Amino acid sequence: MDLLQSQGLLRRVRGTSPSMSSRTAAAAVFLLFATNGALIGGVGGTLPALRERLDVSASGLSLLLFCLAAAAVVSMQVGGRLADKIGARPVALVTLSVLAAGVGLLAITSSLPWAIVAMVLAGLGNGAMDVAMNSLGVEVEQSRPRPIMSRFHAFWSLGNLTAAGTIVLIARLLDRTGGANVGPALETLCVVGIIAIAVAFRIVPDGRRIEHKPDGVRTAIPRLAWALGLMAFCFGLAEGTAVDWSSVHVTDVAKIDPSTGALGLVCVSGCMVIIRLLGDRAVARVGRRAVVRVGAVTAIAGYFITVLTDPLPLLLIGWALVGLGLGLVAPQVYAVAGHVGGGRMLAIVVTFGYAAFLVGPAMIGQLVEHFGVQHAMILPLVLSGCLVAVSPALPRDD
Structure confidence by residue, pLDDT tens digits, 237-260: 998 888 878 888 888 898 988 767
Predicted local confidence at residue 122, as pLDDT: 93
Higher-pLDDT residue of 361, 232: 232
Predicted local confidence at residue 294, as pLDDT: 94
Predicted local confidence at residue 14, as pLDDT: 39
Q: Band the pLDDT of 174: cuts 50, 70, 90.
A: low
| Domains of the chain, first to last | 17-207 (1.20.1250.20), 222-398 (1.20.1250.20)
CA dist 232 and 211 (Å) reads 25
7 pLDDT above the threshold of 60: no
The mean predicted confidence, pLDDT, of the chain is 82
Structure confidence by residue, pLDDT tens digits, 185-242: 777 778 888 888 899 888 887 766 665 554 444 566 778 889 999 999 999 999 888 8
Long-range contact pairs involving 105-110 (C-beta distance under 8 Å, separation at least 24): 106/43, 106/50, 106/186, 107/182, 107/183, 107/184, 107/185, 107/186, 107/187, 107/189, 107/190, 108/183, 108/187, 110/53, 110/54
Half-sphere exposure of 113 (CA within 13 A, CB side): 0
Predicted local confidence at residue 11, as pLDDT: 36
Q: Distance between alpha carbon 87 and the CA centroid of its chain, in Å?
A: 21
Predicted local confidence at residue 5, as pLDDT: 39
Highest mean pLDDT: which of 29-33, 265-269, 358-362? 29-33
Instruction: Please state, for a pLDDT cut of 70, what percent of the chain lies above it.
Output: 84
50 pLDDT above the threshold of 90: no
398 pLDDT above the threshold of 60: no
Higher-pLDDT residue of 211, 320: 320
Q: Which of 397, 223, 145, 364 is nearest to 293 (CA)?
A: 397
Predicted local confidence at residue 12, as pLDDT: 39
Q: Kindly tell me the burial class for residue 18, based on how many C-beta atoms sit within 10 Å of its own C-beta (0-12, 13-18, 19 or more).
A: exposed
Predicted local confidence at residue 172, as pLDDT: 59
Average pLDDT of the residues in 120-140: 91
108 pLDDT above the threshold of 60: yes
